[in-house]
Amino acid sequence: MAVAATFAALASAQPSDHRFLVNQANALWLADLPDAARECYARALRISPDCPVSKRGLASCLRDLNQFEAAVALHQELEAVLLPGSPDRLANLWAHSQVLVGLQRFAEAFACMALRRPWMEGVLHPTGDPLVPQLTLVSEQGFGDTLQFVRFLEPLVSLRHAAGLSGGLQLLVEASMVELLREGLAWLQEPPQVRPKPQQLPADSLSLLDLPHALGQQDVAPNGPHGGYLVSPLWTSEGPGLHPEVTASGAWLVGLVTAAGRPLVDPFCLREYQKRTLPELIIWRLVRELQRHESVVVDLQFGDEATRHHGLGLNLQDPGVSLEGFAATARVVAQLDLVITVDTAMAHLVGAMGRPCWVLLPWSADPRWLREGSLCPWYPNSRLFRQPRTGDWHGAVDQLLECFSSTCVVAAKAP
């Protein structure tokens, strides 16, 4: 708040300069105070009505307040005046696409994603044609986005096979995902060659996020013939993982992730981490209630945030393998009855596998989870539990525990 206060003082001293109000609004938005930020952006626009940063910031506030239609109107207004190829237009297209996803206007959202150029340094002119003989797809954004959008490989492979194109499909992703995608996509008629993403990307690459528009997709692709679109018999065969005594105990095996990806220097990443991560008091309550129902809670928290569980002294089951690689994590997930997670890559991995997943969401959740409801079209076997108001994790956990209690009674496991 110190930054916001500094810009507020500057705005008072120079009331004709809208830029101080914009910076104050940016600081308030990064502090997850969208109502306060909205007022500052609105004041800035009264001084400078054509400021694209103020309009885009105001649209972000409206999205966070679940006023998606008003946010779309602002993005459309900006789109009509911004110069093609300008940084402001590219940023607006991306933000616009996310709100359209939240409204389930998928065809429009996919088109907005594909229109932003250049979308990544080193790839200035992606082909956009899924039927070229040699096609290279590359991951973009975070792990969750990759796991979410590889679902479109099945319609891509079917289209290429019908066109008589054999092979020639390459997928470049982060090294920690290579084994997972090699194994999980092996069921496809023509699986892609999955390789680690190099520093310098091929100039004719196509982003995974641009793929649905290139395919002419009007909706979310189905979850695949095996219940998910990342599936492998290797993940259910005997191997490293939970101790056999645990899997044979008859108890409910519940995986748990309570923190989003470790915050980076980027203020936006820190904001999202703080919004999505469960406080220690909530973790303690959730675990104790799950264990009271005689379930075994398996610790799936990855990275440095795993120390929070140890520090709380919770009696969690060790997964039996390192969770540094996604393929090893998939083997553990395949042994579980349920995964409970916050909005992080784990939610997308479990959803892509077609496994039961319960996702705890902040009130102003990422638009990919839509603005309301307990279900989402991306992952039919996932269930969403939302904060009933900003910051109310107790309310979200109340919903989850009530549902868990009913589920345990209805679907009790045989000893």
Contact 209, 141 (CB under 8 A): yes
d(CA 137, CA 148): 14
pTM value is: 0.93
Alpha-carbon distance 115 to 4, whole Å? 34
Selection from 300, 197, 315 nearest residue 257 by Cα? 300
The order of strands in the sheet holding 169-173 is 193-196, 169-173, 135-138, 206-207
For the stretch 166-206, pLDDT in tens is 888 999 999 999 999 999 999 999 999 999 999 888 877 88
Give the per-residue pLDDT at 87.
82
Interaxial angle between packed helices 326-333 and 345-352, expressed in degrees from 0 to 180 and rounded to the nearest 10? 60
Burial class (CB in 10 A: 0-12, 13-18, 19+), 198: exposed
Q: How far apart are CA 171 and CA 135, in angstroms?
A: 9
pLDDT tens, residue by residue, 214-260:
999 999 887 777 789 999 999 987 666 677 767 767 789 999 999 99
Bridge-based pairing state of the strands 338-342 and 253-257: parallel
- Contacts of 318-323 spanning 24+ positions with Cβ under 8 A: 319/241, 319/242, 319/255, 320/240, 320/241, 320/242, 320/243, 321/240, 321/241
Which helix (H) or strand (E) segment is 336 a member of?
none
Pairwise CA distance, residues 242 & 274, whole Å: 30
User: By percentage, how much of the chain surpasses pLDDT 90?
Assistant: 65
Report the pLDDT value the prediction gives residue 124, as an integer from 0 to 100.
41
| Distance linking the first and last C-alpha atoms of the chain | 54
The pLDDT score that the predictor gives to residue 132 is 87
- pLDDT of 310 reads 85
Query: Which segments in the chain show pLDDT lower than 50?
Result: 119-126, 410, 414-415
User: Over the chain, what is the mean pLDDT?
Assistant: 89
Q: Which residues pair with 357 in a beta bridge?
A: 339, 382
pLDDT for 22 equals: 93
Rg (CA), the chain: 23
Collect all residues with Cβ–Cβ distance below 8 Å to 354 and sequence separation of at least 6: 223, 224, 226, 227, 228, 229, 231, 380, 381
Please report the pLDDT score of residue 414 as a whole number: 45
Ordered DSSP codes for 247-310 = HTS-S-EEEEE---SPP-SSHHHHHHHHHHSPPHHHHHHHHHHHHHTTPEEEE---GGGHHHHH
Supply the pLDDT for residue 120.
45
Which of 331, 326, 325, 359 has the alpha carbon at shortest distance from 343? 359
Residue of 403, 404, 399 whose CA lies nearest to 385? 399
- Residue reference for tokens 């991560």: 277
Q: Which residues of 119-135 are buried (b: 16+ CB within 10 A; e: fewer)?
A: bbeebeebbeebeeeeb
Note the pLDDT tens digit of each residue in 260-277. 977 667 888 888 899 999
For 172, residues 6+ apart whose C-beta sits below 8 A from its C-beta are: 136, 137, 138, 139, 195, 196, 197, 198, 201, 205
Q: In DSSP terms, which residues pair with 229 in a beta bridge?
A: none
Q: Give the per-residue pLDDT at 121.
A: 46
For residue 230, the one-letter residue type is L
Question: Is the dihedral angle over the CA atoms 188, 192, 197, 202 positive or is it negative?
Answer: negative
Backbone angle region of 112, left / alpha / beta, with phi > 0 → left and psi within -120 to 50 → alpha? alpha
Q: Where are the alpha helices (DSSP H) in 14-131?
A: 18-30, 34-47, 52-64, 68-79, 87-102, 106-115
Give the pLDDT confidence score for residue 226 in this predicted structure: 74
The Cα 187–Cα 98 span in angstroms is: 30
